[in-house]
Structure 1
Amino acid sequence: MNDINLEKLRVNRGAHAAPKKRRSSNTRTWIIAGATLAIIVYALLPKPTAIQATQVVSAWPSQQYQVLNATGYVVAQRKAAVAPKGTGRVEWIGVSEGDVVKEGVVLARLESRDVAASYQAASANRQVAEAAVTSAENEMQDADRNLDRTTLLFNKRLLSVLNLQDAKSRKARVAASLKSSQASLAAARANEQLAKTNLDSTQMVAPFDGTVLSRSANVGDIVTPLASAADAKGAVLLIADLNSLEVDADVSESSLAQIKMGQPCEIVLDAYPDRRYRAEVRIIAPTVNRASATVTAKVRFLDRDPDVLPDMSARVAFLSQAVNADQQKPVMAVSPTAIVEGEGGSHVFQIGADGRAHAVAVQVGAVLGGVRAVSGNLKVGDALVLAPGSKMSDGDRIKLADAP
């Protein structure tokens, strides 16, 4: 077998290494050149303008008439704690929180068996007294007839003077008995009325049309007018006329000259910040709270809303003039410094997601406090450039002033 020359089968790796090295060198050269070109282009581009941002907000036209703001709470002008006149144990409660009640309707009742028995006894005594008066009146009629007959016979000389005197004496005794019976009847009727009042006192009735706000006692609880006994309740129910709701607003003593009786107002409740309620000043308290140097102004609602409840927190804006329904609708508003006035009209610069400022044409309205009403292709919450300046144009690159 012939010998194989292994030297001829060996692979020369050195012949292929040199071309690979040349390709790697060329690639690095192009990468360095591209990066250098990018740096040069970036350096030649205009730098982003540092700006401050603001937002499109909601505002109300009534803000232009505000002269003073105050805070307070919703209260009911007519409110009553329903409690019994006497002490007793609650036997029945016929209403719950939120129920609407009418004046005179029985709301709760105390145990009244003993009081009812006293009333029945007083009623029976009154009936006995009435019977006694009836008997005495009959006796009086008989005495009158006897006196008339005796007088007639005496004038005919058929009876003596003694008989006439006896008839007159009998009439006097019967008359006295009748007066006594009538007095007893008056006393019996008074006792019956007292017993009836005591019985009625065990029933708690609504003093006016209203709504039950709370229940402070349950069936079986002992209630007393002064709540002096241990574990005793002073009142069973709390009711209020929700048609008499108003806001007690605390006005600074130094600002008292800016409000007056009947002044138009606008109420905003913390529970419903997007609603505005028309109102007016009903009364200004004639006293000053020395501790807080404030005066209480009672502002009544002009529009009834069942969602308004007592003790809600409220803000009151005292206005220079009344507002109509259209002025109670929110409008878009922006900071006045975000508006750019030009020959072609007014516009603002909206901050786009691409990091550029986009000009949006707007129609400018009234100044509403610290903002100005606008209308255009915007929505509440849009970010705008604050104080863009005259050199800014549509499409400029921007960044927030505090951004890196």
Structure 2
Amino acid sequence: MNSNTELLKQLKIDKSHKEAPGGRPPWGRIAAIGGIVLVLLAAGVGAWAFLGKRPIEVQAATAVAPASAGDAGAVLQATGYVTARRQATVSAQITGALTEVLIEEGDRVAKGQVLARLDDNALRAGLASAQASAAAAHANVTQNEAQLEQALRDATRQEALVGRGLVSKQIAEQTRTQANTYRAQVNTSRRQAQAADSQVGVAQVNLDYTVVRAPFDGVITDKAAQVGEIVSPLSAGGGFTRTGVGTIVDMDSLEIDVDVNEAYIGRVQPAMAAEAVLDAYPDWHIPAHVIAIVPAADRGKATVKVRVALEQKDARIVPDMGVRVSFLEHRTEARAAAPKGVMVPSSAIVQREGHEVAFVVADEKAHRREVTAAKPVNNDMRLVTAGLAAGDTVITTPPDSVGDGTPVHITQPAP
């Protein structure tokens, strides 16, 4: 009790800080303190706005479709691209201006089908001139043949008169010589007519070159020229001359080229069974087999190219598509279906508010997705049966600061 009384006595009012004269508070000091507070608030708001808009750096991975049970027998996997063994950039065999282009990308064409036409006025005139020259040559042959026939009759008649003593032998010999001369002229005119006919053939071939035709059945994958442009089989005229009209691909010749690390090329054998999965259709497993192992290595990449044949052709398969090939020990007739869902790294799934969630990156922002996931596989991957789709880019080990709509920047490309 006494201690409490002592404490109360020690309480004093410090009057050393007196009010301003007239009992008014020190407004200058209050204004200064208020200004400092406002500056601090403004700086805090600015820092919050800057940091709130600054993207958070994260690492990411791509959700992929799970492998099927049939992949269990794979001795090796490799990636590559769909290629066409037969494709051609079609061009004209002469230089000329295009008057018609009859193709568009995606058109199916048959062998011999007209793809384009060039201006042929000059060549048609040349063909007409050659035909006229050939006609004149043949007319000359006819004239010489007529003269030869007359000369032969005259020679026969003169020889008969010589036998009867009515004309001299010299006259009969001159008539025979004249007939032989006409015979030589006939042979010469016939050769000239043949040459004229050959010129007509050349002019016709050049005229045919103004029509560009498909060399084989296929699909147009590129239209390289338009009406009015000049095309040439050579790159003459710089950038103003096209060297091709379009590109045609024989879709029946599609196959796969994969690069196999040379350390594992011994596992691949010719005619070996394989299975191909296109990146665009991860749930579609295409039977395949090895065509050949190209006997050359890439020194820079330490790989060997392997050609793989597709045993099923489909319109969805187009050149330059990415593909993953599994080389199999043996082909299984009955293959268990792949589990539904996608595979993602285990670190991409975190607990938020009692739910398992993953963050998908789209438009440089994180989007929260509640997921249904199975137990981890190989302590690294998890099967997500709901909430994600194949091809989604998910953040691995998302920090607590990442939420729905948070701007993010991927520092590690998604595999």
Same fold (TM over 0.5): yes
The TM-score normalised by the length of structure 1 is 0.66
Residue 233 of structure 1 pairs with residue 242 of structure 2: yes
Structure 2: distance between partners of 1:233 and 1:125: 35
- Secondary structure of the 2:295 match is coil
* Structure index of larger Rg: 1
Cα deviation, residue 156, structure 1: 4.5
Structure 2: distance between partners of 1:293 and 1:160: 99
- Tell me the equivalent position of 2:390: none
- Secondary structure of the 2:291 match is strand
- Tell me the equivalent position of 2:258: 249
Cα deviation, residue 130, structure 1: 1.8
Relative to structure 1, the CA distance from residue 161 to residue 253 in structure 2 (aligned partners, 3 Å threshold; closer, same or farther) is farther
- Structure 2 unmatched ranges of 5 or more: 1-64, 344-353, 356-370, 380-415
Q: 2:93 aligns with which of 85, 88, 106?
A: 85
Write the mapping of 1:198-277 to structure 2, written as runs, cut at 5 A.
198-230=206-238, 231-277=240-286
Cα deviation, residue 207, structure 1: 0.4
Give the AA of the match of 1:192. V
Structure 1: distance between partners of 2:100 and 2:127: 20
- Secondary structure of the 1:307 match is coil
Structure 1: distance between partners of 2:157 and 2:288: 83
Give the AA of the match of 1:299. V
Q: Deviations over 1:230-265 (max 9, x none)?
A: 322111110011111111111222322222322222
**Greater CA drift, 197-206 or 161-170:** 161-170
Relative to structure 1, the CA distance from residue 116 to residue 385 in structure 2 (aligned partners, 3 Å threshold; closer, same or farther) is closer
- Tell me the equivalent position of 2:325: 316
Give the AA of the match of 1:180. T
User: Is the CA contact (8 Å cut-off) linking 1:215 and 1:237 kept in structure 2?
Assistant: yes
Q: Deviations over 1:1-60 (max 9, x none)?
A: xxxxxxxxxxxxxxxxxxxxxxxxxxxxxxxxxxxxxxxxxxxxxxxxxxxxxxxx8432
Q: Deviations over 1:343-384 (max 9, x none)?
A: xxxxxxxxxxx99xxxxxxxxxxxxxxxxxxxxxxxx96523
Cα deviation, residue 270, structure 1: 0.6
- Tell me the equivalent position of 2:290: 281
Query: How many residues align structurally?
Result: 295
- Tell me the equivalent position of 1:100: 108
Give the AA of the match of 2:93. K
Structure 1: distance between partners of 2:193 and 2:100: 35
- Tell me the equivalent position of 2:361: none
Write the mapping of 1:344-363 to structure 2, written as runs, cut at 5 A.
none
Q: Deviations over 1:58-98 (max 9, x none)?
A: 43233132122221111111101011112221110011111
Structure 2: distance between partners of 1:328 and 1:98: 36
Q: CA RMSD in A?
A: 3.3
Structure 2: distance between partners of 1:88 and 1:178: 40
- Tell me the equivalent position of 2:312: 303
- Tell me the equivalent position of 1:142: 150
- Tell me the equivalent position of 1:166: 174
- Secondary structure of the 2:100 match is strand
Structure 2: distance between partners of 1:334 and 1:130: 81
Give the AA of the match of 2:321. M
User: Is the CA contact (8 Å cut-off) linking 1:96 and 1:212 kept in structure 2?
Assistant: yes
Structure 1: distance between partners of 2:124 and 2:300: 52
Structure 2: distance between partners of 1:385 and 1:180: 95
Structure 2: distance between partners of 1:114 and 1:385: 76
- Tell me the equivalent position of 1:76: 84
- Tell me the equivalent position of 1:384: 375
- Secondary structure of the 1:285 match is strand
Identity percentage of aligned residues: 34
Relative to structure 1, the CA distance from residue 323 to residue 157 in structure 2 (aligned partners, 3 Å threshold; closer, same or farther) is farther
Residue 115 of structure 1 pairs with residue 123 of structure 2: yes
Relative to structure 1, the CA distance from residue 387 to residue 63 in structure 2 (aligned partners, 3 Å threshold; closer, same or farther) is closer
Structure 2: distance between partners of 1:297 and 1:151: 87
- Secondary structure of the 1:125 match is helix
Give the AA of the match of 1:241. D
Cα deviation, residue 387, structure 1: 9.7
- Tell me the equivalent position of 2:55: none
Structure 1: distance between partners of 2:85 and 2:129: 43
User: Is the CA contact (8 Å cut-off) linking 1:106 and 1:206 kept in structure 2?
Assistant: yes
- Secondary structure of the 1:196 match is helix
Relative to structure 1, the CA distance from residue 386 to residue 255 in structure 2 (aligned partners, 3 Å threshold; closer, same or farther) is closer
Cα deviation, residue 203, structure 1: 1.3
**Greater CA drift, 221-230 or 114-123:** 221-230
User: Is the CA contact (8 Å cut-off) linking 1:216 and 1:235 kept in structure 2?
Assistant: yes
Cα deviation, residue 211, structure 1: 0.7
Q: Deviations over 1:315-356 (max 9, x none)?
A: 1122222343x3274357999xxxxxxxxxxxxxxxxxx99x
Residue 65 of structure 1 pairs with residue 73 of structure 2: yes
Give the AA of the match of 1:104. G
Give the AA of the match of 2:288. A
User: Is the CA contact (8 Å cut-off) linking 1:59 and 1:333 kept in structure 2?
Assistant: no
Relative to structure 1, the CA distance from residue 106 to residue 333 in structure 2 (aligned partners, 3 Å threshold; closer, same or farther) is closer
Q: 1:292 aligns with which of 297, 301, 317?
A: 301
Relative to structure 1, the CA distance from residue 160 to residue 246 in structure 2 (aligned partners, 3 Å threshold; closer, same or farther) is same
**Greater CA drift, 175-184 or 130-139:** 130-139
Cα deviation, residue 222, structure 1: 1.7
- Tell me the equivalent position of 2:186: 178
- Tell me the equivalent position of 1:340: none
Structure 2: distance between partners of 1:228 and 1:269: 40
The TM-score normalised by the length of structure 2 is 0.64
Give the AA of the match of 1:316. V
Give the AA of the match of 1:305. D
Structure 2: distance between partners of 1:157 and 1:61: 115
- Tell me the equivalent position of 2:346: none
